[in-house]
Structure 1
Amino acid sequence: MIFDGTTIARACGGELVQAGAAGPVTTDSRRVPPGAWFVALTGERFDGHEFLGVVAASGAAGAVVSRAPEGWTRGLVVVPDTLRALQDIASFARNEFHGPVIGITGSAGKTSTRVMVVEVLRALGNVHHTQGNLNNHIGLPLTLTALPPDADVLVVELGMNHLGEIDRLQAISRPTVRLITNVGAAHVEGCGSLDGVSRAKQELFDGAAEGDVVCVNLDDPRISAMPVPDGVRVVTYGSGPEAAVRLTDVGVDPERLQTRIRIETPDGTVRATLDVPGMHLAINAAAATAVAWALRVPLESIGPALSRFQPEGMRNRVEHVGGVAVLDDAYNANPISMFAALTTLASLRGRKFAALGDMLELGGEEDHAHAEVLAAAILAADQVWVTGPRMSQAAENFPSVRSFVDAEALADALVAALAAGDVLLVKGSRGARMERVVERLRAARRS
């Protein structure tokens, strides 16, 4: 969408000091398209107001600020709080959109599920969706303000690290279809406990309005126990007979590194083959099928759409490096996603290596969670190698687990140990930067 100064001021209740032409909204002073409106966000370590000179030189149409700059000659809207202004502009954009809006959250699998949902809903027209990790209090508003005029469907991820954040994001985006993938030990530090994580995720269901659809994962006891508001349509999915959309068969082909899936709906059977291995991906496919079924997507289009699924970024991506099958799952990690990745590794053929980094933001669950993951890893892999203070501390109780001072040292040892036909899983939280292992392997194989 594009916004002129008058519209921006009306949307966020700001003072229109100087009118400006219509343009897109941005918060990145390094990449201001000519004719855009720059929202000068502030934080503990940054202040967008310091870059207004750069913004003007980029040809911006105007700026949304909390402090009026001297000598500014472009459009200007002054507000008390620029973050709140950005979110209010996003709410305005959402109000202008009248198609279905799908909101997805969960402790693990929300990005893969979002990618699948986008694919199955392409049958309804043009789908605008979250890009990358733009799923927080800044990223979600930017997704909404970027809505193109020809969008028919909107799919957004809602991330969080504390109570109340999902509530704010769902209030801005007002999803008409709401989905929680699962609840597990992720962001425990910010939510206080696993029960706190569950309450934080439940905020997505709590905000549902009459007529909205809530997709409930019956395989997750915390989600199946969540209350939903009156007047909401409930679509259940899972692997049990009581699920309306039921996952009835899943298998991993260890040679082709594919996942075969069969899902039963009230209207018939969906079959798909994913070009990546992962038993856990099947429940994500069932979730996407539940969304598609709720929105009356033609049944015959769902299977082919799921089969087009490709992982986004460093999430369960398969890469062959010098004859080694690398499962690059380095983007992030928590206990749920670790166990899922290790289950996938165990299902494959060849000598198996697990290169694992720390899991972060687990609060009081930290020691127990790392120990549990390593116990599972030594059953799934022939060799378990770890780095990071948390993994290394847990490894002290597992004599067969090798610990390394950093990811580079771990990678150097892998270069010497790996051979054609081996399988390597690389996984850790974002802060562990386990992608350095994969980068080092690539460089070594090229040299």
Structure 2
Amino acid sequence: MNDIVRLYEIFLECGQVTTDTRKMTPGTIYFALKGERFDGNTFAKEALKAGCRLAVVDDEKLRDEEGCFWVPDVLTTLQKLARYHRQKLDIPVIGITGSNGKTTTKELIAAVLKKKYDVWYTQGNLNNHIGVPLTLLSMPPRTQIAIVEMGANHMDEISELCGIALPNHGLITNVGKAHLEGFGSFEGVKKAKGELYEFLKKNGGEIFINVDNDVLLSMVGHYPWIGYGTGKDAVVRAENVSATPMLSFDLFTSRVTGLRIETQLVGLYNRDNVLAAASLGHYFGIEEELVKEALESYIPGNNRSQYIRTQRNQVILDAYNANPTSMRAALVNFRLMEHARKVLIIGGMKELGEESVSEHQALISEIMRLNFVECFFTGNEFAGILPADNRFKWFSDTNLLKEALQKKPISDALILVKGSRANQLERIVEFL
């Protein structure tokens, strides 16, 4: 009997795995992963003392230690166990990747499908080579549909994650200029994200696609797909779309005509995320009234497209992540909103590699083209490239920006706060 089969028998008995002794409950299987700054093997004995059922280790010193299950590589074993578990489950697994909107789309799909099914989905941002196995192994036994978010910042990563999660349904939210440092170019991003399509094609899976996105349509080729969007080929379609600031639209499917949906999401750019969820709901037989109920009750969190009314201003907080594509979408949407005083607070975009300077210069040009007149910038990415213009104020970091906002508060404004996670722009909201 090989290691994975033996481990799986134990897993079926206890049903829980962990990689963190601080979050361990008695009876759990502990996987001693290695990181840049730690080695989980050093915590194996501590985990056993705390009541874990088994410690999976790869340190030779622990090979004969009671309670330890020695393997050549702990991470590989975790991934193989998750794949083995997935192979035993006869349920739909929906794979989601894309440059922007993955997490919001995942949560919206979960909200819709929960109206009829027991759904398990990626918690937080556990979407990498460790997070995907943990997502699969933490599924409750009653799960009827799983939704697995897949992130990537280098080639072959999506392909590897598909090899673990084995999705039989999937969608790419979009392809934009994100993680250029790891992918090298926009073509590299397309190839990397397209690994989900390639897996689904090879295994006869269902592909859901935004019919308004020519890049995705070119990537999928002649393989049959299920479409959503505003075009005539969409099975699930939106008309009369508006965002002032909350997104609303009329929903059309094979079963309903013009069902008005009023979401609590800011921005036209969320339309595609919402329609993706409606499309999966339609495919899995969720009644449109229940789809409406799920979409209208969903409230974004974690600094993603949040609409906040402070004592002095209205704030759109979209500070979880940023890349050139999502930044431009946010700016265009903000430009369309009606308000007497609009203020931009923009943080630098990370992981753009050699394209960083040119992309930040292009961003400034776009801001000037859209004629925004009050703009605050933070981050070293903007150092030395902002024009000498009273409209633009630059701060090397968020702390200095925060101090400036305290000294000279903004009032009676609609404010867009947008930047990469590293800027921690959510910290300024209390001063707006």
TM-score (norm 2): 0.91
- Matching residue's letter, 1:265: T
- Matching residue's letter, 1:216: I
| Structure 1 stretch displaced more, 160-169 or 121-130 | 121-130
Aligned ranges 1:42-441 → 2 under 5 Å:
42-70=34-62, 74-208=66-200, 209-227=202-220, 233-253=224-244, 257-269=245-257, 270-346=259-335, 347-378=337-368, 379=370, 381-396=372-387, 400-438=391-429
- Matching residue's letter, 2:122: T
Aligned residues of 1:124 and 1:153 also touching (Cα < 8 A): no
Partner SS state of residue 326, structure 1 = strand
Aligned residues of 1:167 and 1:203 also touching (Cα < 8 A): yes
- Shift of the alpha carbon at 1:119? 1.2
Q: Distance in 2 between matches of 1:134 and 1:112?
A: 14
Aligned residues of 1:277 and 1:344 also touching (Cα < 8 A): no
Aligned residues of 1:108 and 1:182 also touching (Cα < 8 A): yes
Partner SS state of residue 310, structure 1 = coil
- Shift of the alpha carbon at 1:322? 2.4
Deviation sequence 1:280-326 (CA, Å, 0-9, x none): 11111111122222222223321221112211311111222323222
Specify every segment of 5 or more residues in structure 1 that has no aligned partner in the other structure, as ranges: 1-5
- Matching residue's letter, 1:206: E
- Shift of the alpha carbon at 1:336? 1.6
Q: Distance in 2 between matches of 1:145 and 1:393?
A: 49
Q: Distance in 2 between matches of 1:276 and 1:331?
A: 15
Q: Distance in 2 between matches of 1:19 and 1:422?
A: 55
Moved over 6 A (4+): 18-21
Partner SS state of residue 103, structure 1 = strand
Partner SS state of residue 116, structure 1 = helix
- Shift of the alpha carbon at 1:225? 0.4
- Change in 2 beyond 3 A, CA 1:228/1:154: farther
Deviation sequence 1:151-194 (CA, Å, 0-9, x none): 11111111000010000111111122110011010011101110
Q: Distance in 1 between matches of 2:389 and 2:206?
A: 46
Q: Distance in 2 between matches of 1:302 and 1:261?
A: 13
- Shift of the alpha carbon at 1:56? 2.5
Partner SS state of residue 240, structure 2 = strand
- Change in 2 beyond 3 A, CA 1:236/1:19: closer
Q: Distance in 2 between matches of 1:70 and 1:300?
A: 57
| Structure 1 stretch displaced more, 120-129 or 377-386 | 377-386
- Shift of the alpha carbon at 1:77? 1.8
Partner SS state of residue 135, structure 2 = helix
Aligned equivalent of 1:3: none
Q: Distance in 2 between matches of 1:399 and 1:67?
A: 60
Aligned residues of 1:61 and 1:74 also touching (Cα < 8 A): no
Deviation sequence 1:100-151 (CA, Å, 0-9, x none): 2111111001111111111111123111111111111111111111000121
Deviation sequence 1:382-413 (CA, Å, 0-9, x none): 31111111123432476631111210111222
Q: Distance in 2 between matches of 1:259 and 1:73?
A: 58
Partner SS state of residue 267, structure 2 = coil
Q: Distance in 1 between matches of 2:12 and 2:238?
A: 53
Aligned residues of 1:268 and 1:299 also touching (Cα < 8 A): yes
Q: Distance in 2 between matches of 1:147 and 1:97?
A: 11
Aligned residues of 2:15 and 2:138 also touching (Cα < 8 A): no
Deviation sequence 1:186-231 (CA, Å, 0-9, x none): 011101110000000000010015542101222222211013686x
- Change in 2 beyond 3 A, CA 1:51/1:413: same
Aligned residues of 2:308 and 2:315 also touching (Cα < 8 A): yes
Aligned ranges 1:14-53 → 2 under 5 Å:
22-53=14-45
Q: Distance in 1 between matches of 2:188 and 2:350?
A: 17
| Alignment length (residue pairs) | 428
Q: Distance in 2 between matches of 1:56 and 1:391?
A: 50
Aligned residues of 1:118 and 1:155 also touching (Cα < 8 A): yes
TM-score (norm 1): 0.88
Partner SS state of residue 21, structure 2 = coil
- Matching residue's letter, 2:349: M
Q: Distance in 1 between matches of 2:3 and 2:292?
A: 42
